[in-house]
Amino acid sequence: MLEITDVSWAVPAARILDHITCTVPAGSLVGLLGPNGSGKTTLIRAVAGLVRPDTGAMTIAGDHIAGLRRLALARRIALLAQHADTDLDLTVRDVVLLGRIPHRRSRWSDTADDHTAVAEALTRVDLAGFADRTWLTLSGGERQRAQLARAFAQEPELLLLDEPTNHLDIGHQLQLLSLVRRAKVTTLAALHDLNLAAMFCDTVVVLHHGRVVATGPPTEVLTSGLLAGVYGVDAEVRVHDGRTVICYRPPS
């Protein structure tokens, strides 16, 4: 379980995270929502230990993230960043193997277990035949799925996904989020597509100007009033087969 309690972070010009409190229960998928610039990436980077909050606490299974060493963090938390990419001439296998580094006894040699974990992770994301492909020859969507395989190969306790459906066609968006859901790893995912969030997330946390403005199950949180107030959009929200479906209206 991830617990974020009263976390704030400011730069000289602005407060970016403003007293954030929320929880990601063990095994659940929590969607982090909010318009551009609302603080989603910053919060995810703070949980990953890349931004140090000015105040507040973040714990994973009761352990303070700020007190964990980098290797311990890497063993427990996997981050799929928004612009995870490389210009290096690596193979897909090399990239996915990076996820195994925190678990190795020797930093320099891969084991048979590492290669099994890589093969399994690539199969899970539908890239079984891609291990020997050069990274630079992959499409944007294939890179995104390979990065998810790297995160799965890391066997984390907590998965942090920053807009994981970027570059993916609708089939692969649905496939990726259903994979994440079925993995039952505790996951915090920043998402822009509210219909996908409603379809896959157990709960959602909505940020606006660095503050949590709503939290709860998508059916309760994603109302037309919230969409108007937070995103400034006009939308009809229906419940179909027990799930929230949002139909946007064009701006007048």
Ligand X SMILES: Nc1ncnc2c1ncn2[C@@H]1O[C@H](COP(=O)(O)OP(=O)(O)OP(=O)(O)O)[C@@H](O)[C@H]1O
Binding site for ligand X (CB under 6 A): 11, 16, 34, 36-42
> Which CB atom, from 193 or from 202, has the smaller least distance to ligand X?
193
- Minimum distance of ligand X from residue 17's CB (angstroms): 8
CB of 217 to ligand X, least distance (A): 22
Looking up tokens 């590492």 gives 114
Helix axes 170-183, 140-153, angle to 10 degrees: 0
| Other C-beta atoms lying within 10 Å of the C-beta of residue 81 | 18
Q: How many beta carbons lie within 10 A of that of residue 117, not counting itself?
A: 22
Q: Which is nearer to ligand X, 28 or 38 (CB)?
A: 38
Of the two residues 42 and 165, which places its CB atom closer to ligand X in the complex?
42
Least separation in angstroms between residue 165's CB and ligand X is 13
> Quick one: CA dihedral 120, 122, 125, 130, positive or negative?
negative
Residue 163 C-beta: closest distance to ligand X, Å: 7
HSE-CB at 142 with a 13 A cutoff on CA atoms is: 15
Of 97 and 190, the one with the shorter C-beta distance to ligand X is: 190
- Residue 34 or 49 with smaller CB distance to ligand X: 34
Closest contact distance (angstroms) between CB of 103 and ligand X is 29
Looking at the Cβ atoms of 138 and 206, the one nearer to ligand X is 206
At its nearest, how many Å lie between ligand X and the CB of residue 71?
Answer: 25
Q: What is the C-alpha to C-alpha distance for residues 211 and 2, in angstroms, rounded to an integer? A: 18
Using alpha carbons, select from 44, 45, 39, 40 the residue that is nearest to residue 14.
39
Phi, psi of 227 (to 5 degrees): -65, -35
